[in-house]
């Protein structure tokens, strides 16, 4: 019995759910199910009452007419099935009004018109959604128009009433009431099962919701712990970042102070201007401090000028530059050794000794372009020695180059290294150019270096200009070539007009 009730209940749920889809809101679903339920139970009630009236009257026309009214309720289910829900609701109201009018005319005073009015008005309000309330203006007048029609003589002319004795009419009244009550009881019992199932589903949903809430609470707790750990990590990172900023500030302060010291070992503009009438120096460290430096000394009517490129750049290169500047001062200014080849020989030996390269793995060194200028009447005698650096000079507006030795000061070398001295004579107005390799190694955005050929062409192009103008042209040419590319090495270029 219980299984039959469940099967019947499931079938009823399928019937009531005709036309319902997941995309519908809960309100729309409820109204569609209510419309299907009214139509289905009116179909059941109509079939039973039609058979009852046929038995009482014996007229087949009554059975056919009443059955057509009852079966017309199935059209509502079909309309809902084909998603014509609004038409189904309107049809239900009109069909019920027509069926009531038929039975009212058939039975005469048997039916209560007030009950009919309340039924149709209540049904109209119940089956329309809030969005469909405007259709009440169409459906609400239908019960009143039907009641007016039933009180008119036309209704009695269209349908021949069933003439029964008063006792039979009373019997029919109680039969109809019993039938409607039984049908209503069946609906209640069926709906109670439906409600029970819905309650079980609601309880299951509540249990699942509770489990999900517990899971969400656990996840929330885990997220909270993760956030606390992340916050702790963030705080630790902030502390370390503050510490790093403090250390970076101290380091940068030290490096900036070292820059001041390194600037102090470079020749001052006053010293350079006292010795040379026209000159310029382009000095661009890659970092704050540089591994390049230029050096000048005027002693016993001899002028020594050098550009030195030490191994590395930044702080390591700056330490090497301090060593190189100190040793040049010692060799030339203190020991009065003036032969440029001997100066490089001694510099090579002293750098290796200072860095203890004969005992360790330190292979730092330096490249140098060293010149000694001495005035002789209207001419200038120039002695040159170079360690992997050339000397560029102009004579009669033509550019020339003296190559230095293909070996560096210190580094991977023997202790008994010797450098070559080269001599040339320049006229007044000729120019000397001493440089590190930073200018020619400057990259373009395409990672192509400036190169020696472009460097020499640039000097040839602007050599007739004053030294101040040449400096401006050289810097602009370098910036135009480099653009936004990061500087690769320290850059030093010194130009002198004799």
Please give the pLDDT value at position 110: 45
- Domain-located, residue 168: no
Residue where one domain finishes, among candidates 102, 133, 163? 163
Does 479 share its domain with 356? yes
pLDDT digits (tens, 9 = 90+) for 220-236: 888 999 998 899 889 88
The alpha-helical segments, DSSP class H, found in 72-165 are: 73-81, 85-107, 113-127, 136-139, 141-150, 153-158
- Domain-located, residue 205: no
- Domain-located, residue 233: no
Tokens 């103008």, residue located: 469
Tokens 């109509």, residue located: 46
Please give the pLDDT value at position 400: 96
pTM, rounded to two decimals: 0.57
Q: Does residue 190 carry a pLDDT above 70?
A: no
Which CATH number fits the domain that encloses residue 314? 3.60.40.10
Does 290 share its domain with 147? no
Please give the pLDDT value at position 43: 74
Residue where one domain finishes, among candidates 119, 144, 163? 163
Bridge partners (DSSP) of residue 202 are none
pLDDT digits (tens, 9 = 90+) for 341-383: 999 999 999 998 888 887 777 788 999 999 999 998 889 999 9
Q: Looking at the 3D structure of the chain, how many domains does it have?
A: 2
- Domain-located, residue 222: no
Does 273 share its domain with 155? no
- Which residue, 262, 316, 286, is CA-closest to 438? 286
Strands 292-299 and 398-402: unpaired
- Domain-located, residue 211: no
The helix (H) or strand (E) run that includes residue 393 is strand 391-395
Distance of CA 165 to the CA centre of its chain: 88
pLDDT band at 64 (very low <50, low <70, confident <90, very high): low
Does 133 share its domain with 275? no
Q: What distance in Å separates the CA atoms of residue 135 and residue 125, rounded to the nearest whole number?
A: 10
Q: What distance in Å separates the CA atoms of residue 493 and residue 294, rounded to the nearest whole number?
A: 9
Residue of higher predicted confidence among 220 and 313? 220
- Give Cα separations from 305 to 279, 322, 329, 401, 455 (angstroms): 12, 16, 12, 17, 21
Give the residue numbers spanning the domain of 23.
2-163
Does 139 share its domain with 276? no
- Domain-located, residue 143: yes
Contacts 24+ apart (CB under 8 A), 375-379: 375/301, 376/425, 378/427, 378/428, 379/425, 379/426, 379/427, 379/428
Q: What distance in Å separates the CA atoms of residue 183 and residue 46, rounded to the nearest whole number?
A: 11
- Give Cα separations from 14 to 45, 126, 202, 474 (angstroms): 20, 21, 19, 91
Mean pLDDT (the chain) is: 81
Residue where one domain finishes, among candidates 112, 135, 163? 163
Q: Does residue 264 carry a pLDDT above 60?
A: yes
Which residues lie below 8 Å from residue 158, measured CB to CB, with a gap of 6+? 105
Does 158 share its domain with 300? no
- Domain-located, residue 358: yes
Q: Which two tokens stand for residue 138?
A: 């169409």
Helix, strand, coil shares, percent, the chain, to 5: 60, 15, 25
Does 273 share its domain with 159? no
- Domain-located, residue 243: no
């Amino acid at each position: 019995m219980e299984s039959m009730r469940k099967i019947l209940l499931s079938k009823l749920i399928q019937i009531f759910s005709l036309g319902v889809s997941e995309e519908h809101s809960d309100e729309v679903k409820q109204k569609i199910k209510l419309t299907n339920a009214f139509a289905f139970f009116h179909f059941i009630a109509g079939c039973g009452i039609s058979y009852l009236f046929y038995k009482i009257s014996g007229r087949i026309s009554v059975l056919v007419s009443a059955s057509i009214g009852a079966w017309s309720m199935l059209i509502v289910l079909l309309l809902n099935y084909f998603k014509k829900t609004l038409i189904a609701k309107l049809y239900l109201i009109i069909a019920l009004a027509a069926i009531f009018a038929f039975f009212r005319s058939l039975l005469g005073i048997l039916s209560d018109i007030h009950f009919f009015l309340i039924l149709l008005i209540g049904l109209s309000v119940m089956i329309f959604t809030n969005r469909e309330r405007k259709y009440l203006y169409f459906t609400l007048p239908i019960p009143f128009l039907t009641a007016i029609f039933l009180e008119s003589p036309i209704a009695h002319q269209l349908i021949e009433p069933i003439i029964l004795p008063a006792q039979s009419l009373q019997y029919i009244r109680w039969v109809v009431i019993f039938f409607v009550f039984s049908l209503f009881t069946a609906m209640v019992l069926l709906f109670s099962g439906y409600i029970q199932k819905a309650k079980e589903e609601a309880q299951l949903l509540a249990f699942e919701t509770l489990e999900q809430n517990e899971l969400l609470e656990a996840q929330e707790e885990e997220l909270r712990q993760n956030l606390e750990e992340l916050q702790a990590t963030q705080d630790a990172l902030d502390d370390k970042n503050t510490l790093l900023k403090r250390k970076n500030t101290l380091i940068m302060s030290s490096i900036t102070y070292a820059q001041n010291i390194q600037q102090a070992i470079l020749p001052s503009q006053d010293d350079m201007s006292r010795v040379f009438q026209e000159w310029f120096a382009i000095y661009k460290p890659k970092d704050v401090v540089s591994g390049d430096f230029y050096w000048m000394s005027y002693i016993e009517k001899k002028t020594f000028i050098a550009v030195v490129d030490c191994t590395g750049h930044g702080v390591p290169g700056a330490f090497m530059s301090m060593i190189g500047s100190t040793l040049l001062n010692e060799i030339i200014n203190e020991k009065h050794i003036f032969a440029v080849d001997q100066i490089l020989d001694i510099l090579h030996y002293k750098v290796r000794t200072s860095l203890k390269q004969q005992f360790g793995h330190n292979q730092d060194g330096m490249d140098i372009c060293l010149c000694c200028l001495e005035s002789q009447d209207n001419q200038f005698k120039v002695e040159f020695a170079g360690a992997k650096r050339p000397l560029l000079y102009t004579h009669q507006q033509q550019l020339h180059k003296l190559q230095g030795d293909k070996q560096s000061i210190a580094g991977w070398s023997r202790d008994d290294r010797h450098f070559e001295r080269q001599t040339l004579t320049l006229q007044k107005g000729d120019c000397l150019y001493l440089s590190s390799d930073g200018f020619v190694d400057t990259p373009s955005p395409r990672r192509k270096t400036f190169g020696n050929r472009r460097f020499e062409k640039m000097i040839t192009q602007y050599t007739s200009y004053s030294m101040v103008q040449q400096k401006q042209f050289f810097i602009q040419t370098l910036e135009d070539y480099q653009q936004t590319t990061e500087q690769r090495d320290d850059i030093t270029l010194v130009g002198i007009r004799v």
